[in-house]
Structure 1
Amino acid sequence: MTADMSDEKARASAWFRQLRDEIVAAFEGLEDIQADGPLADMPAGRFEVNETRRASDDGSDAGGGLMSVLRGGRVFEKVGVNVSTVYGTLGERAQAAMAARKGLAGMKDDPRFWASGISLVAHMQNPHAPAVHMNTRMFWTPHGWWFGGGSDLNPCIEYQEDTEHFHAVQKTHCDRHDPGFYPRFKAWADEYFHIPHRHRARGVGGIFLDDHNTGDWEADFAFIQDVGRAFLPAFLPVTERRRGMPWTDEDKDKQLIHRGLYAEYNLVYDRGTRFGLETGHDANAVLMSLPPMAKWV
């Protein structure tokens, strides 16, 4: 059995909230810049913030969080930044999945869980500016604790210099902890963010990790913090470079078709989407990642 880890849980939850606040402020700051471009004269976008609650079977407190969504801005067509801390007991399906993936024989006897994290998906106005996904999280049961997360870039029109910059920042932050982390977690992202029925990747990758537990909670927490810290320096320069580029109807069409692929992946394969819906979290928050408009051919 694993200790309750109350202090560690509180620190992790506070960190995810701090990261959320930093990202929301940075994104609104990006909206405030009166840069050149097709949408320069639009009002700066602002996040709408709502509390979310997790539904429990018996009506008891099961945690919740904040859903922050900005729609129709100068830079972002839709971006959501969610943070949550939820707890309770896992249902039978979630118990079985957890036991199978992590090799936990005791989940049926004590199915309690606690999870906290931040999840972000941004869909851009300009087709030349890439969509992006990022999340970091901590998961606890009486049988073990783990960290997970990562970030990946999803351009519909790829620019090699953007891809190289995004990956270079990820590598720098990973290398602070272990030079083997970046190649390992890059390969994991390439495998995880693959759309089998389309025989292609969702985007140009990034890093992804799950079930991360070296036995040293402090070291693992420090690493997952750097995964979060890498996001803004990896993403903002790319966005600033592309936000003012002119686009054509053909460019926008490419963006909408690419968003269809993104929606397919998130609804069919994404582990976090399935976990959120199966454990009773707010459906609007779980499905925040879906684009505002998409197209299929």
Structure 2
Amino acid sequence: MEEQKKQAFEWFCALRDKIVESFLLIEEQAFTGPKVEKRKWNRPGGGGGESTIIYGNVFEKVGVNVSKVHGKLADSVINEIPGAGENNGEFWASGISLVSHMQSPLVPAAHMNTRLIYTSKQWFGGGMDFTPIYRDEEDCKYIHESIKTTCDKFDAEYYPKFKEQCDSYFFLQHRKEPRGIGGIFYDNLNSGSWKNDFKFTKAVGAAFLEIYLHIIHQHMRKSWTKEQRENQLIKRGRYVEFNLLYDRGTRFGLMTDGNPDAIMMSMPPLVKWM
């Protein structure tokens, strides 16, 4: 178990480094000097993490978190975490999470996270999804075909199952509308082979980076209007509503005494409600 934890955390850190390096290269290609902030934090009950935030002219704000936390859950939330009740609330969790808000209204916002959790049970979870301001059918086709190709290498049932879970999960019930064009979402993944589940989780992270870099390069240099920017800021309001009302990662972070600034990293720098 300790070796599994070590391998997973090292992968999450390596993926973070590759993502940050790739995004900074895009900013350099756009001849801009981005601002990069790194913040480390410690969890009072055990563990901690690090946030890397980039502010640039392509990425208005993108944050990448890695964390490794452990300890005992409060009695009030033990029943919300599978296996915690049978383990006296003891848990260990590690993962990577990313949320990207772009300067251009023509480049979709993106979210990706993968994680490994131990209580009396053990499972992987995560996924990716994309939120364009203006839907592009070619982008949508490319994204979903690429995700399906990744999933099919492991199990032909993964893509349809995880896509449906994504569509169901990333839905704003109070507005009766989806957050974006979807992707995949999986949780409590334990096929009986830790090795295969870890390979799948690594493949999801690698596929996200390849997909998003392609989409960014397709649209980052296109011109856009003030009206499109205004619509972008309003659409971001939906993103904020989802993350504060429904997001499980936000809830898990708060329930386990995570760092509030890291948890709220997903918030866009500018947003409007009309």
TM-score interval, smaller chain: over 0.9
**Which residue identity lines up with residue 251 of structure 2 in the other structure?**
R
CA separation in 1, counterparts of 2:208 and 2:33?
Answer: 22
**Which residue identity lines up with residue 263 of structure 1 in the other structure?**
V
Give, in angstroms, the shift of residue 109 of structure 1.
5.3
Q: Is the 8 A contact 1:170 1:206 kept in 2?
A: yes
What is the aligned-residue RMSD (CA, Å)? 1.2
Equivalent residue in structure 2 for 1:67, among 48, 51, 56: 51
Question: What corresponds to 1:51 in structure 2?
Answer: 40
Larger-gyration structure (1/2)? 1
TM-score (norm 1): 0.90
CA separation in 2, counterparts of 1:111 and 1:74?
Answer: 44
Give, in angstroms, the shift of residue 46 of structure 1.
4.1
Q: Is the 8 A contact 1:66 1:83 kept in 2?
A: yes
Runs (5+) with no aligned partner, structure 1: 35-39, 57-61
CA separation in 2, counterparts of 1:194 and 1:14?
Answer: 32
**Equivalent residue of 1:231, what SS?**
helix
- Measured against aligned partners, the alpha-carbon deviations of 1:66-110 in whole angstroms (never above 9, x if no partner) come to 100012x12100000000100000111220112xxx3x4x61652
**Equivalent residue of 2:6, what SS?**
helix
Q: Is 1:33 aligned to 2:29, yes or no? A: yes
CA separation in 1, counterparts of 2:234 and 2:214?
Answer: 25
**Which residue identity lines up with residue 3 of structure 2 in the other structure?**
D
Give, in angstroms, the shift of residue 138 of structure 1.
0.2
**Equivalent residue of 2:174, what SS?**
helix
Question: What corresponds to 1:128 in structure 2?
Answer: 106
Identical amino acids, percent of aligned pairs: 45
CA separation in 2, counterparts of 1:97 and 1:284?
Answer: 23
Equivalent residue in structure 1 for 2:74, among 91, 115, 120: 91
**Equivalent residue of 2:85, what SS?**
coil
- Measured against aligned partners, the alpha-carbon deviations of 1:240-278 in whole angstroms (never above 9, x if no partner) come to 111111111110111001100000000000001011012
- Measured against aligned partners, the alpha-carbon deviations of 1:89-144 in whole angstroms (never above 9, x if no partner) come to 0111220112xxx3x4x616521100000000000000001000000000001x11
Question: What corresponds to 2:139 in structure 1?
Answer: 162
CA separation in 2, counterparts of 1:46 and 1:225?
Answer: 28
Runs (5+) with no aligned partner, structure 2: none
CA separation in 1, counterparts of 2:205 and 2:41?
Answer: 22
The 4+ residue runs of structure 1 with deviation greater than 3 A are none
Q: Is 1:14 aligned to 2:10, yes or no? A: yes
Question: What corresponds to 1:225 in structure 2?
Answer: 202
Q: Quick one: structure 1 residues 109 and 32, their matched pair in 2 at CA, closer, same or farther if it must change by over 3 Å? A: closer
**Which residue identity lines up with residue 119 of structure 1 in the other structure?**
S
CA separation in 2, counterparts of 1:159 and 1:120?
Answer: 22
CA separation in 2, counterparts of 1:11 and 1:94?
Answer: 28
CA separation in 1, counterparts of 2:146 and 2:58?
Answer: 22
Question: What corresponds to 2:254 in structure 1?
Answer: 277
TM-score (norm 2): 0.97
CA separation in 2, counterparts of 1:169 and 1:25?
Answer: 22
- Measured against aligned partners, the alpha-carbon deviations of 1:152-189 in whole angstroms (never above 9, x if no partner) come to 00011111111111111111111110111111101110
CA separation in 2, counterparts of 1:12 and 1:113?
Answer: 15
